[in-house]
Structure 1
Amino acid sequence: MPRAGFERVGRILTTVFGLGFVLIGLRYFLDPGALTIETDVAMPSTKAVMEIRTVYGGMFIGVGLTTFLLGWRRATLASGLWVLVLIGGCVAAARIAAVLLGQAPDALFAGLLAVELIGVAIALWVLRGLGAAERAA
């Protein structure tokens, strides 16, 4: 595949994951109680609700914007892909470690793990393709 093709795939990937992170962040910032329903995370106090808004809201929005914005400039596309690889890879590794420590995954957990692993694999493939195209030029 030519460099332009890898760049196109990389932009699509960073856009999809970036917007996905932003939407997740907005959801939990605006409705922190949704986390309780979806993952059984308890929020026994206003302090807990504030923490959900800041971490699941603010951090996810920041990661999403970083991934999205880096992915749209040719000069920073590889950085956007590395953000996706590092964050998605670390979250996937933590999910796998949780299973190895004896926690049984449910359908949501398994689905998120699959999305993370596929996203990381595609990002690594694009990074490899961009590197090969650069070396050939």
Structure 2
Amino acid sequence: MRLFLGYLALAWLGIGGWLLVDPGALANYAGVAALSVNGTIELRAMYGGMELAIGLSALWALWRPRWACHVLFMNGVITGGIAFGRLFGVLAAGSASVYTMSALSFELSAAALCWVFAKRLSGEQHRG
């Protein structure tokens, strides 16, 4: 579980840090581009700042293990919500790119593992 939290931290911090600094990178690999200064700020906030916060929560759980169950639950809810929105988008569009399917694979697997680990930790806390 600690290895998985480390993986989540690296994944979210990496992409969040990158997109905070270079939100234009989304245009190259995801086809998402800002049309104005406000759009660039929004991309930095949602793809940079939010993802950095998610990654920092995983680091926090590594440093303070008593928070791991909460952080895993939160990550499961967030990645599950993103996956739901992405899957809805795929179904509405009737097609998906390699990028979309790769992101969906990460989100679905991360959400599932978060929920499994959170449930396991929750059970241990209630027994112990």
Q: Shorter-chain TM-score: which interval?
A: 0.7 to 0.9
Q: 1:40 aligns to what?
A: 31
TM-score normalized with structure 1 length: 0.82
Change (3 A) 1:131 1:79: closer
User: What runs of 5+ residues in structure 2 fail to find an aligned partner?
Assistant: none
**Per-residue deviation at 1:130?**
2.4
Which is worse superposed, 125-134 or 11-20? 125-134
> Helix, strand or coil for the counterpart of 1:116?
helix
Determine if contact 2:83/2:107 at 8 Å carries over to the other structure: yes
Q: 1:76 is matched with which residue: 51, 54, 67? A: 67
Q: Equivalents in 1 of 2:4, 2:48: separation in Å?
A: 21
Partner of 1:6: none
Coordinate RMSD, CA, aligned: 1.7
Aligned to 1:123: 114
How many corresponding residue pairs? 128
Large movers: runs of 4+ above 6 Å = none
Once the two structures are superposed, residues 12-69 of structure 1 have per-residue CA deviations (whole angstroms, 9 ceiling, x without a partner) of: 2222112211111111111111011111122222222222122211111112112321
Deviates more, 1:117-126 or 1:63-72: 63-72
Q: Hey, what's the Cα distance between the residues in 1 that align with 2:124 and 2:42?
A: 44
Letter in 1 for 2:80: G
Larger Rg: 1
Q: 1:130 to 1:103 in 2, by over 3 A?
A: same
Identity of aligned residues (%): 27
Could you tell me which amino acid in structure 2 is paired with residue 66 of structure 1? S
TM-score, reference length from structure 2: 0.87
The offset of 1:90, in angstroms, is 0.5
- Gapped regions of structure 1 (runs ≥ 5): 1-8
